Structure 1
Amino acid sequence: MREDVEALDIRDVTANWVNAEVLSRQIEERVKALADLSHTPLFFGRLDYLHAPGAEQAEGAGGEQFYIGRRHVHDAGGDPMVIDWRAPVSQPFYRASRKDPMDVGLRRRFGYTGGELTAYEDEHLSDPAEAATTSKLLQREIERPRVGPMRDIVATIQPEQDEIVRSGLGGTVCVQGGPGTGKTAVGLHRVAYLLYAHRERLARTGTLVIGPNRSFLHYIEQVLPALGELAVAQATVDDLVGHVEVRGADDAAAAVVKGDARMAEVLRRALYSHVRIPTEPVVVVRGSRRWRVPAHELEELVRELLTRDIRYGAAREALPQRIAHAVLVRMERAGEAPDDRVQDAVARNSAVKAAVKESWPPVDPAKLVLRLLTDADFLAEHADGILSEDERKTILWAKPVRSVKSAKWSPADAVLIDEATDLVQRTHSLGHVVLDEAQDLSPMQYRAVGRRCTTGSATVLGDLAQGTTPWATRSWDEALAHLGKRDGHIEELTAGFRVPTDVIAYASRLLPHIAPGLAPVASVRENPGFFEVRDGSGTAEVIAACEELLRREGSTGLIAADARVPALAEALAAAGIGHLAPGEETTRETRLTLVPASLAKGLEYDYVVLDEPRAVVDGEPDERTGLRRLYVALTRAVSGLIVTHAAPLPRELAE
């Protein structure tokens, strides 16, 4: 298929060089999408539909046999050899059961090792005599060692995951899922499905995956290309709101206030305070005639624009046209016949421009935010009844700042500027946005993401128990409201496929203290996993644990409190153990990653050494946040976990 595309001759099929260039780009993208992926089989399953004359058949079936794979493959004659996993005829591969076989007689799973077919397994769904058993190939695929970046899960998607993946484009879905439930993979595969089902629409409107940090995005960046989808952009929230250079940081108290949704109303008030009701008429001179628009009529125009739900900038652009129209009305009454060109000329008249500048002046969003954060009186005026005096003092800068460029903006300040920018000029909306690790976003950050999908939909992914910011999400209903998607529905994944039974059971001791009422993850893995808690004397025990795990197959992560990372890096170097930073791709030669606890979220390793749980907890501003950070660190292991500690364990783990 790739060679056929490469062989296309487009020299005589385009009308001009522009069309030729566009077509060449499209062909290049098609060739990239058809690239061979080593160690990735083209098909992983087969469906044999029943043939029952006179009975209702599944769509497109009729007793046929279909191979299911990551992408559509056809032969030289155009006949399909492998059906895309997203096609309707492939759906029973994920959802068919003995209770509801969906007209499937046999479902076959294929097992691969290094890209070579090594096994297969059959399920006779229509045979009542065959006992239901757990798929060994499915278990083996789930428990396969993880080296390198995150991979797709098309061969192991479960029925409850498939329902979310195939949910429609029109609705927003929020997925609450504990560690190892596959929520990130579900979100990425939903994007792939939507691009398959609504390709033309999303090609026009665009799609975006938002992650918590660059390390996380690097970890997941190969999933969609492996499924043939190359056009999905990836970003962090900080990337989206990058109107200014961020060089500063807020303390927790200031960040909480700045991230509060009430700041949106403060900004709106501050922005529209620049509008002044006209008190003087406008006199437009054209040739020998003078046309006068009285102040009371100008006042009506300004007030009417204030009552309309349009952006500040759009209203400012409309005002000169409104004034010009009032002038044209007078011209017509005087017997003249002005056209649109005359109206545009009047709108550009110096007197009209001066009146607009006086009544509806231009406002720079960054300068507006800077004034709010540095001018106590200006902030007090527009935050009256919204923020308390203590809250206003919390966000005011201690020192005056000369200009926007010299200001040391914090990440929370950048979000405020993005909000102000949207009040001035509407933010472009995409067709679909995936927001991962959403539990750590502030209300204002949710609003920033929501602006990117006002006319589209979203997939929100997260775990309330893993919220590690002072402003962490308290409920998904509240989060959806801030996102502007109140009608979004919430799905919960509770079956754990990644974290071993013993590990998730140990970590779940923290749940009553960090997320009361949240259902613990139930591991479906047959292998209970390797798990030990070691009371060691210090760094030597940590290094020994790393050396022990590196003798096993797969990747190893050493997770520690941020403050302890430099010392551990020195100890690893002294022991001659090479290591990577989070986000760097593991190789067969270097399989150890040294991970600060603050960057562990969303990452996974076959084996994990967790250093000093007490230090992880103490590294956060409060006990609850620290326990949530510890919960994240404990649940990064796919096959085994060693906890080493010299200091006493947190009492919540010891209970």
Structure 2
Amino acid sequence: MPAHRLAPDIAEESGDDVLAAERAHLAAARAALRAMREHAESLSPDAAGDWVSQEILRHALDQRIAALADLPDTPLFFGRLDRSADDDLPHTIHVGRRHVHDGSGRPLVIDWRAPVSRAFYQAGPADPMGVRLRRRFGHRGGELTAYEDEHLDRGEPLGTSRILTEEIERPRTGPMRDIVATIQPDQDEIVRRDLGRTVCVQGAPGTGKTAVGLHRAAYLLFTHRERLQRDGVLIVGPNRAFLGYISAVLPALGEVTVEQTTVADLLGATGNVADEDPETAAIKGDARMAAVLRRALWAHVTKPEEGLVYTKGASRYRVADYEVSEIVASLRGTGRYGPGRAALAQRLAHEVLVRMERRGEAPDDRVQDAVARSQPVRRLLDRIWPRLTPQQVLFRLYSDPDFLAAAARNDLTAAERERLLWRRPYRSARSARWTAADAALLDELADLIERTPSLAHIVVDEAQDLSPMQLRAIGRRCRAGSATVLGDLAQGTTPWSARSWQEVLGHLGVAGGEVTELVVGFRVPREVLDFAARLLPAIAPGLAAPRSLRPGAGSLTVRPAAMLAEALPDAVRAALAREGSIGVIAADAAVPAVCAALDGVPYAPLGPDGGADGRVVVVPATLAKGLEYDHVIVVEPAEIAEAEPRGLTRLYVVLTRAVTSLTVLHTRPLPAPLAV
């Protein structure tokens, strides 16, 4: 791509001179970044005193070195601001993915998250924000190829940015890229929300809600570095394939410490997980189970039938049964189960010490601790406040109909309780096989027993698909922090999919969170989005149809076929003739047949753990959520719609994965809403 100048109104220097100067600045910035990295690599953790401090310093240096990596196919900056503001800040600022300074400390690139960089995204003729000129750069690989200027001080209306449009529409292969060069003003407002605020983003396909959530995490790490690195940031996605797709975004922004996980991994629902019918899973995921579990746990605390007798030498100290009952009653249900048991031991020991003092003794705290740990106290605790694991409580709940009925009270119907009871007997909680829905219940019980540690911030994507009990599990992990909640009510594919975002925020425990909406798409062509939106009246009648800024004329092909085995390879070869990634999406059960039909065409199947390499990826419909491909070929929409109870919703998800072209191949009639 030849270097070219897009701005027609710079009189003081030619386009070639501008590009030459900017390329020289880029070269200087790259050299400075190398020097910063070399300096970090030269530092030795041995300077720390002890071994622990050395390991901490070594870990910090490794993170610093990783954060200073230069991406050879991406320029260090994507924009420039010429400022007219009269302050101590530089009048010319290059905005990029990370801060770069030279040997004297002079900034060559300013981080896009810095307050002064906000004008790059928000400034306009009506409010220039102290900016005289905004310049955008086009690039190919790591080389600057074009520039485009906007003179904000002239009050001229902004036209369509060719560089911005090309960057948004640029074909992509591999994982998701960052969007720092193309963040729109409404997206930037969400990204820069304060840490103390939980934000819920309802985003139609192609509106960039996932990227907004990731960039908000990067912004908060920049703005509140010390707290977030201390207390932690977590990204929660729907599956590992999705996490693989987004895995490169934060490291590209210099953030290499953020943990990314699925809900299943977070709750331990991996490995040998038992299958379960959707109806039973929906009952287990219902918020009513929280009250059932609380009653089931505290039902294990029983009324004492005898008091405590503690012997020390020739002396015996007795705490009567009614006194023990009063202590238990004062502690039961007032806090968590585990600390309550420990508090009971201390309270009993205190009563013994009171009796010792009445006899003229002078016991101290060490004596009280010894009494609390003594065998008589432990035996009494085991009878009236036994030590429990979450698995033991849930095992009893599923195994004992009377215990389940007592714990459920009026929260569950008789039919629902019958569904929860195990059909096959397990000998013990240790031998039981738990389901994915059980994992959230076990996590709830674990928190009732011992408090779950809280993180500073959590980003949860596809939140509309989480059950109330899964949302409660995530919510208690940001109890002392905040969250960014992302999703689309129209893409809910689980039996318990949310009907409103206020409902989701309530289950997370942040009912006061802010709900905002992204309705304008930048990635999915309008022709494709309009076709998929025909499903909305059937799957989400309360939502307005999304809009796209990209007309995408000719981006949609709906092709009847006599034999898919012949039509599919031809469609894939046609897509291969164009630039970009290709996703072939089919109902999960049809994937083997699709792979067989592609014999002779190079492809990679996408599994639950992700990791599919190559231009052509065969994607099961249930793993498509959150992914994007330049060219998507959807095989037999009717099979996708019939494969599960919310199959039309799944089909809506599948049809909106395309960012350049969508080809729909079918031998059977299309689902009725699409046949209009």
Please state which band the TM-score falls in when normalised by the shorter chain.
over 0.9
Which residue in the other structure is 1:593 paired with? Answer: 617
CA shift in 2, pair 1:504/1:343, >3 Å = same
Kindly provide the amino acid, as one letter, of the partner of residue 628 in structure 1. Answer: T
One of 500, 505, 508 as aligned partner of 2:530: 505
For 1:244 and 1:121, how far apart are their aligned partners in 2? 50
CA shift in 2, pair 1:241/1:332, >3 Å = same
1:17 paired with 2:43, answer no
Which residue in the other structure is 1:445 paired with? Answer: 470
**CA deviation after TM superposition for structure 1 residue 499, in Å:** 0.2
**CA deviation after TM superposition for structure 1 residue 247, in Å:** 2.5
Which residue in the other structure is 1:648 paired with? Answer: 669
Matches within 5 A, 1:43-192: 43-51=77-85, 57=86, 60-61=88-89, 64-128=91-155, 130-192=156-218
CA shift in 2, pair 1:526/1:103, >3 Å = farther
Q: Which moved more, 1:177-186 or 1:577-586?
A: 577-586
Which residue in the other structure is 1:514 paired with? Answer: 539
- Is contact 1:246-1:414 (8 Å) kept? no
Which residue in the other structure is 1:54 paired with? Answer: none
For 1:413 and 1:403, how far apart are their aligned partners in 2? 16
Which residue in the other structure is 2:330 paired with? Answer: 304
For 1:561 and 1:568, how far apart are their aligned partners in 2? 10
- Report Cα offsets for 1:461-505 as digits up to 9, x if no partner: 000000001111111101111111111110100110110010001
Aligned partner of residue 601 in structure 1, secondary structure: coil
One of 484, 487, 492 as aligned partner of 2:517: 492
**CA deviation after TM superposition for structure 1 residue 243, in Å:** 7.1
> TM-score when scaled to structure 1?
0.95
CA shift in 2, pair 1:363/1:16, >3 Å = closer
Aligned partner of residue 160 in structure 1, secondary structure: helix
One of 237, 249, 263 as aligned partner of 1:211: 237
CA shift in 2, pair 1:361/1:542, >3 Å = same
For 1:225 and 1:448, how far apart are their aligned partners in 2? 27
**CA deviation after TM superposition for structure 1 residue 403, in Å:** 2.5
One of 274, 278, 282 as aligned partner of 2:308: 282
Aligned partner of residue 318 in structure 2, secondary structure: strand
**CA deviation after TM superposition for structure 1 residue 132, in Å:** 2.2
1:630 paired with 2:656, answer no
Which residue in the other structure is 1:610 paired with? Answer: 634
1:455 paired with 2:476, answer no
**CA deviation after TM superposition for structure 1 residue 9, in Å:** 4.7
Aligned partner of residue 553 in structure 1, secondary structure: coil
CA shift in 2, pair 1:244/1:570, >3 Å = closer
For 2:571 and 2:153, how far apart are their aligned partners in 1? 50
Matches within 5 A, 1:554-593: 554-573=580-599, 575-581=600-606, 590-593=614-617
**CA deviation after TM superposition for structure 1 residue 515, in Å:** 0.9
Unaligned ranges ≥5, structure 1: 52-56
- Is contact 2:81-2:93 (8 Å) kept? yes
Aligned partner of residue 203 in structure 1, secondary structure: helix
- Is contact 2:603-2:616 (8 Å) kept? yes
Which residue in the other structure is 2:41 paired with? Answer: 6
**CA deviation after TM superposition for structure 1 residue 601, in Å:** 0.3
**CA deviation after TM superposition for structure 1 residue 5, in Å:** 1.2
Aligned partner of residue 83 in structure 1, secondary structure: strand
For 1:226 and 1:651, how far apart are their aligned partners in 2? 44
**CA deviation after TM superposition for structure 1 residue 80, in Å:** 0.8
For 1:652 and 1:71, how far apart are their aligned partners in 2? 47
For 1:274 and 1:106, how far apart are their aligned partners in 2? 70
**CA deviation after TM superposition for structure 1 residue 611, in Å:** 0.8
For 1:434 and 1:424, how far apart are their aligned partners in 2? 26
For 1:19 and 1:219, how far apart are their aligned partners in 2? 35
Which residue in the other structure is 2:224 paired with? Answer: 198
Unaligned ranges ≥5, structure 2: 1-35
- Report Cα offsets for 1:43-76 as digits up to 9, x if no partner: 000011115xxxxx5x654x71100000000001
For 2:202 and 2:428, how far apart are their aligned partners in 1? 43
Q: Which moved more, 1:516-525 or 1:556-565?
A: 516-525
For 1:215 and 1:124, how far apart are their aligned partners in 2? 43
- Is contact 2:569-2:597 (8 Å) kept? yes
- Report Cα offsets for 1:1-23 as digits up to 9, x if no partner: 10111123555x43233323322
Matches within 5 A, 1:217-616: 217-242=243-268, 245-308=271-334, 310-525=335-550, 527-528=552-553, 530-539=555-564, 540-573=566-599, 575-581=600-606, 590-616=614-640
Aligned partner of residue 202 in structure 1, secondary structure: helix
Aligned partner of residue 598 in structure 2, secondary structure: helix
CA shift in 2, pair 1:384/1:246, >3 Å = farther
**CA deviation after TM superposition for structure 1 residue 335, in Å:** 2.0
**CA deviation after TM superposition for structure 1 residue 519, in Å:** 2.1
- Is contact 2:440-2:469 (8 Å) kept? yes
For 1:648 and 1:133, how far apart are their aligned partners in 2? 44
For 2:428 and 2:375, how far apart are their aligned partners in 1? 30
What number of residue pairs does the alignment pair up? 639
- Is contact 2:120-2:134 (8 Å) kept? yes
For 1:579 and 1:243, how far apart are their aligned partners in 2? 27
For 2:431 and 2:322, how far apart are their aligned partners in 1? 43
CA shift in 2, pair 1:245/1:544, >3 Å = closer
**CA deviation after TM superposition for structure 1 residue 241, in Å:** 1.3
Aligned partner of residue 196 in structure 2, secondary structure: coil
- Report Cα offsets for 1:403-460 as digits up to 9, x if no partner: 2343232101121111111111111111111100111111111011112111111111
Kindly provide the amino acid, as one letter, of the partner of residue 6 in structure 1. Answer: E
Kindly provide the amino acid, as one letter, of the partner of residue 125 in structure 2. Answer: R
For 1:243 and 1:619, how far apart are their aligned partners in 2? 24
Kindly provide the amino acid, as one letter, of the partner of residue 475 in structure 1. Answer: S
For 2:514 and 2:151, how far apart are their aligned partners in 1? 35
Kindly provide the amino acid, as one letter, of the partner of residue 636 in structure 2. Answer: E
For 1:413 and 1:534, how far apart are their aligned partners in 2? 43
CA shift in 2, pair 1:34/1:361, >3 Å = same
**CA deviation after TM superposition for structure 1 residue 370, in Å:** 1.7
For 1:564 and 1:239, how far apart are their aligned partners in 2? 27
For 2:306 and 2:367, how far apart are their aligned partners in 1? 23
**CA deviation after TM superposition for structure 1 residue 210, in Å:** 0.3
